[in-house]
Chains A and B, each alone.
Chain A
Amino acid sequence: MWIYEKKLQYPVRVSKCDPRMAKFLIEQYGGADGELAAALRYLNQRYTVPDKVIGLLNDIGTEELAHLEMIATMVYKLTKDATPDQLMEAGLGAHYANHDKALFYHNAAGVPWTASYIQAKGDPIADLYEDIAAEEKARATYQWLINMTDDVDLKDSLSFLREREIIHSQRFREAVEIIKADQQQKKIF
Chain B
Amino acid sequence: MSEERKLTEDQKKQYYELLYEMQAVDFILVELTLYLDTHPHDHKAINQYNECVQKSMALKNKFQSMFGPMYHFGNSYSTYPWTWDSAPWPWQV
Residues of A at the B interface (CB closer than 8 Å) are 3-12, 53, 55-56, 59-60, 63, 69, 72-73, 76-77, 167-168, 171, 174-175, 178
Collect the chain B residues with CB atoms within 8 Å of residue A6's CB: 69-71, 84, 89-90
Complex CA–CA separation, A59 to B49 (angstroms): 15
B23 A10 Cβ-Cβ under 8 A = yes
A178 B33 Cβ-Cβ under 8 A = no
B33 A59 Cβ-Cβ under 8 A = yes
Residues of B at the A interface (CB closer than 8 Å) are 19-20, 22-23, 26-27, 30-31, 33-35, 37-39, 69-73, 75, 84, 89-91, 93
Known: A56-B34, A174-B38. A10 touches B71 (CB 8 A): no
Complex CA–CA separation, A168 to B84 (angstroms): 32
Complex CA–CA separation, A4 to B90 (angstroms): 11
Complex CA–CA separation, A55 to B93 (angstroms): 31
Complex CA–CA separation, A69 to B89 (angstroms): 11
Known: A3-B73, A10-B23. A167 touches B90 (CB 8 A): no
Q: Which residue of A lies closest to B36 (CB)?
A: A55
A9 B33 Cβ-Cβ under 8 A = no
Interchain nearest-CB distance for A3 vs B (Å): 6
Complex CA–CA separation, A4 to B33 (angstroms): 17
Q: Tell which of A55, A72, A175 has the most Cβ of chain B within 10 Å.
A: A55
Collect the chain B residues with CB atoms within 8 Å of residue A12's CB: 91
Interchain nearest-CB distance for B60 vs A (Å): 9
Interchain nearest-CB distance for B87 vs A (Å): 11
Collect the chain A residues with CB atoms within 8 Å of residue B75's CB: 3
Collect the chain B residues with CB atoms within 8 Å of residue A171's CB: 34-35, 37-38
Q: Which residue of B lies closest to A177 (CB)?
A: B38
Q: Which residue of A lies closest to B86 (CB)?
A: A6
- 16 residue pairs of the A-B complex, CB under 8 angstroms, read A3-B73, A5-B71, A7-B19, A7-B22, A7-B90, A9-B23, A11-B20, A11-B23, A56-B34, A56-B37, A59-B33, A59-B34, A60-B34, A69-B91, A171-B34, A175-B38
Q: Which residue of B lies closest to A55 (CB)?
A: B37
Known: A3-B71, A56-B38. A76 touches B90 (CB 8 A): no
